[in-house]
Amino acid sequence: AERGSLGFNCTILLESDEEMGSRGLREFCRMHAERLRADVLIASDGPRIDPARATIVLGSRGLVNFELALKLREGAHHSGNWGGLIRDPGLVLAHAIASLTDARGQISVPEWRPDSLTPEISELLADVQVSGGDSGPAIDHDWGEGGLSPEERVYGWNSFAVLALELGDPMRPQNAIAPEARAVCQLRYVVGTDPGDILPALRRHLDAHGFHNVTVTPTRMAGMRATRSNPNNEWVQLALKSVNKTLGDTGKAALIPNIGGGIPNDIFAEDLGMPTVWIPHSYAGCNQHAPNEHMLAPVAREGLQIMAGLFWDIGLD
C-alpha cells in the first residue's frame, strides 16, 4: 500500500499434495511452463536448522522409497519341527537389509555414496549447527557416516532408513516360521548421486551378496530428485542480504545447500530451469508427520517480517 505496487511481476502457486509425492504438479508445471516462467522461485517448506536461526535453503535431498520382499513358500510351518530345515524369510531379509550399511548406519552400497561433499559445501556447513529445539530428539554423534559433522551427514550426505517391517503378528506371535517377510525402505540422497542407478545398484548389491530371491519394488509414492542452487547466484545473495537486514542485530541467517527432507524442487530447478530459494518457517522438532504437528509463534512472527522485507527489497532492486 505504501509503494502502490510490488515493483515486480509475481506468480503465486499453492501446492497441497507434497505429503503424497506432489502428484500432478510436474505435469501442471510442464503444461503451463510459459505462464510460470520466472527469474527465480521463492518458496517455503521444511525446517530451519535451529528454531532461533533464520535459514535460507538452496534445494533438497532427493528420496526413493522401495519395498524389499522375500516369499519362500505358501503357509507357515512349525518352528520346532521345521527349525533348521527351512529358511526363515525374516532372518534372510534382516541380513539383506543389514548388508546395506554397517552397524552404525554407514552406507555400504558404493553407488549410494555421493561425490559432492566438496570443501566448499563443508565450509558452508561449518557455519551452522542443526538443532530440533527443546522438543527434538538428541543427535546420535556416533551414528551415520564417520568423519563427518552432524550437519554434513544430514545436508551433505546420503542416509538409508527402514520405514516399516512386516513379519507375522507381534501381538499374537505363533510358534511357526513365516512364509514371507517384507520391509519398506528409503534412501535420502544429495546431488552427486545418480537417481537412475539407485535401485539398479541395490539389485546388483543384493545379488553380489547372495540375496537373489529378495525382490526390489519401487513404492507408489513418486520420488523427488535432489537439487541444489549455486550459493553464489545473485538471487541467493539478494535473499541473504535482505534477510540479514531484516534480522538486524538479532542474528545472522544460515545458508545451507539443501534440507535433509524432500520437496518437489526439481520441478522448478530442472523442468522450469530457474534458481530456487527456500526460506522455511518451521523447525525440526515440530512433530512433522506425527500427532501434534505445530509451529512456533515467534518463528511465524519473524517469518512474516522476513518475507515482507524480502519482497520489499526485490521491488527496490
pLDDT (tens digit per residue) in 219-238: 966 578 999 999 999 999 99
**Mean of pLDDT values over 282-299:** 86
Nearest to 185 by CA among 169, 168, 198: 198
pLDDT (tens digit per residue) in 241-268: 999 999 998 789 999 999 998 889 999 9
Average pLDDT score, the chain: 93
For residues 124 and 256, give the distance between their C-alpha atoms in angstroms, rounded to a whole number.
7
The whole-number pLDDT of residue 256 equals 95
Do 206 and 232 fall into the same domain?
A: no
Domain-embedded: residue 126: no
Q: What is the DSSP string of 72-109?
A: -SSS-EETTTSBTTB--HHHHHHHHHHTTB-TT--B--
Residues 6+ apart with CB under 8 A from 23: 17, 222
Do 68 and 210 fall into the same domain?
A: yes
Is a pLDDT exceeding 60 seen at residue 94? yes
Residues 6+ apart with CB under 8 A from 32: none
Beta bridge partners of 282: 47
**Mean of pLDDT values over 27-36:** 95
pLDDT category, 137, cuts 50, 70, 90?
confident
Is a pLDDT exceeding 60 seen at residue 190? yes
**Mean of pLDDT values over 57-68:** 96
pLDDT (tens digit per residue) in 65-92: 999 999 999 999 999 999 999 999 999 9
Do 236 and 309 fall into the same domain?
A: yes
Domain termination residue (choose one: 190, 218, 246): 218
E strand or H helix at 208: helix 198-208
Cβ count near 204 (within 10 Å): 14
How many structural domains comprise the chain? 2
Residue numbers of the domain that contains 25: 18-60+227-316
For the CA atoms of 211, 214, 220, 223, the dihedral, rounded to the nearest 10 degrees, stands at 0
The cell for 74 is 505358501
Do 235 and 199 fall into the same domain?
A: no
User: In terms of C-beta density within 10 A (0-12 exposed, 13-18 middle, 19 or more buried), how is residue 290 classed?
Assistant: exposed
Which one-letter DSSP state was computed for residue 18? Answer: G
Lowest mean pLDDT, pick from 28-42, 223-237, 278-292:
278-292
Domain termination residue (choose one: 166, 194, 218): 218
* CATH number for position 165: 3.30.70.360
Do 165 and 203 fall into the same domain?
A: yes
Measure the N-to-C terminal CA separation of the chain; round to a whole number of Å.
Answer: 18
For residues 252 and 55, give the distance between their C-alpha atoms in angstroms, rounded to a whole number.
9
Do 67 and 212 fall into the same domain?
A: yes
φ/ψ of 90, rounded to 5, equals: -65, -45
- Return the beta strands (E) in 167-214 as ranges: 176-177, 180-189
Do 209 and 281 fall into the same domain?
A: no
* CATH number for position 43: 3.40.630.10
Beta bridge partners of 181: 70
Do 291 and 231 fall into the same domain?
A: yes
Do 88 and 26 fall into the same domain?
A: no
Q: Are strands 176-177 and 77-78 parallel, antiparallel or unpaired?
A: antiparallel
Is a pLDDT exceeding 80 seen at residue 1? no
Q: pTM surpassing 0.85? A: yes
Beta bridge partners of 83: 86
Do 234 and 244 fall into the same domain?
A: yes
Which one-letter DSSP state was computed for residue 259? Answer: B
For residues 244 and 235, give the distance between their C-alpha atoms in angstroms, rounded to a whole number.
14
pLDDT category, 214, cuts 50, 70, 90?
very high
For the CA atoms of 110, 160, 48, 278, the dihedral, rounded to the nearest 10 degrees, stands at 60
